[in-house]
Amino acid sequence: MDHINPSLMRLISFMGYDTIEDHSSGCHIYDTSGNDFLDCLGGFGVFTIGHSHPKVINAVKAQLDKMPLSSKVLMVEPYALLAKKLADISPGSLQYVFMCNSGTEAIEGALKIARLKTKKHGLIYTKHGFHGKTMGSLSITGRDAFQEPFRPLIPGARMIPFGDADALAEAIDDDTAAFVVEPVQGEGGIHVPPDDYLPKVQEICRDKKILLITDEVQSGLGRTGKLFACDHWGIEPDIMTLAKALGGGVLPVGAILGTPDVWEIFEENPLIHSSTFGGNPLACTAALAAIEVIIEENLPDKAAETGKYILNELKAIRDEHPDVIADVRGIGCFIGVEFADSDVGGIMISSLAARKVLVAFTLNNQKVLRIEPALGISRDDVDKLLGYIRESVAEVSSLISSL
């Protein structure tokens, strides 16, 4: 209250989360009083492999003893191994990797690379899309409440509806460098596009010679039931951004992946884009271990299976209580519950907080509660979560009918 952000503290207290976290494991966070919170928010997409995964913690501990930060002059083995691993698992001909420290940094770098490669300035982005809050990323984050106080933003950014390929074709002009899109919109309220959208988008980008940047900061690394959301539709972006789950829920890591064609921009000046801490040995070690866990534990398949179960159960709850829940949608363990209105959503969050379930709204759509648990969440915890949601919905429904 006195030194961080009083208004945010009041909001968090109002929601019912006014406690101090102490330690965590798997899908559970324990506060300093010993309360056990079931984490269904997953750090907004960070805790894909769960909290404090021992494989990542142990790898990071070993690297910590060996060499925590890089000289930035000599080669760094974990960076090289991670770049190769990412190139091996990523879609299409993505081959080169620039490591940074967060999602918004990955987007900033991607925008600069796109401008340099195409020698053009224009960017097209989607309504309700979320790419971060630094100036470049904010310029393509489709929510007025975040953009308005900071205008003028970077020039030449145009917003179009998500899911509408014709709108993209119309918006492209002679100065367009790139189209930036989340394959599945997260903070916009968990929107899965129609099946023909992304293949059409790719065709338009290739026809009109603009770059396709897919932002998989939240959808990447198994969350949607495949390693990358792009893989559901077989598209091959020119640039892809990653962060959140990449650090295995242990360290902050971001990455920009690009094709050899795009990476030509580094030929003339290899230091045209750089980062002091990006690609440090600790972060890369965490990311390598996290990718191994995702593959070894078969987490994309688990996400698909668990997500299907949760989605079906939530749809049944929606059918029983349309006064509380307007829609349920998602893919894998990337699920949104849209409430009848935002007041109902607010009461639902408090009601779930009272049951020690950790949840939150999507940032660009305050009517949608996100369900983003660790992909390996047990059936027991899933059933507990669904039970709590059922109880809360019934409670809110009777409150509504008593008004």
Kindly list the residues in this chain that would bind ligand PLP in the complex (CB under 6 A).
44, 102-104, 107, 130-132, 182, 186-187, 215, 217-218, 243
The residue (of 238 and 381) whose beta carbon lies closer to ligand PLP is 238
In angstroms, the Cα distances linking 189 to 289, 327, 344, 364, 365 are 30, 11, 16, 7, 5
Nearer to ligand PLP, 179 or 388 (CB): 179
* Beta partners for residue 329, in sequence order: 336
CB of 236 to ligand PLP, least distance (A): 19
Q: Residue 4 Cβ, how far from ligand PLP at the closest point, in Å?
A: 17
- Smallest distance, Å, CB 101 to ligand PLP? 8
The closest of 241, 175, 235, 180 to 209, measured between CA atoms, is 175
Residue nearer to ligand PLP on the CB measure, 90 or 351: 90
H-state helical runs in 140-264: 144-147, 165-171, 197-207, 260-263
Q: Contact, 264 vs 211, CB < 8 A?
A: no
C-alpha distances in Å from residue 250, one per residue of 66, 181, 290: 18, 27, 9
How far apart are CB 198 and ligand PLP at their closest, in Å? 15
Residue with tokens 């690297």: 63
* Residue whose token pair is 């409430």: 339
- The C-alpha atoms of residue 250 and residue 60 are separated, in whole angstroms, by 9
Closer of 79 and 130 to ligand PLP (Cβ): 130
Angle of helix 281-296 versus helix 54-66 axis, rounded to 10: 150
Minimum distance between the CB of residue 75 and ligand PLP, rounded to whole angstroms?
27
Instruction: Give the residue with the Cβ less far from ligand PLP, 337 or 363.
Output: 363
> Please, what is the minimum distance in Å from the beta carbon of residue 219 to ligand PLP?
7
**Among residues 255 and 299, whose Cβ is nearest to ligand PLP?**
255
Closer to ligand PLP by Cβ: residue 128 or 302: 128
Cβ at position 125, least distance to ligand PLP in Å: 11
Residue whose Cβ sits closest to ligand PLP: 103
Q: Minimum CB separation from ligand PLP for residue 131, in Å?
A: 5
Q: Enumerate residues 6+ apart whose C-beta is below 8 A from 10.
A: none
Distance CA 400, CA 403 (A): 5
Strand order across the 122-126 sheet = 96-100, 254-258, 239-242, 211-215, 176-181, 122-126, 157-160
Closer to ligand PLP by CB, 286 or 389: give it.
286
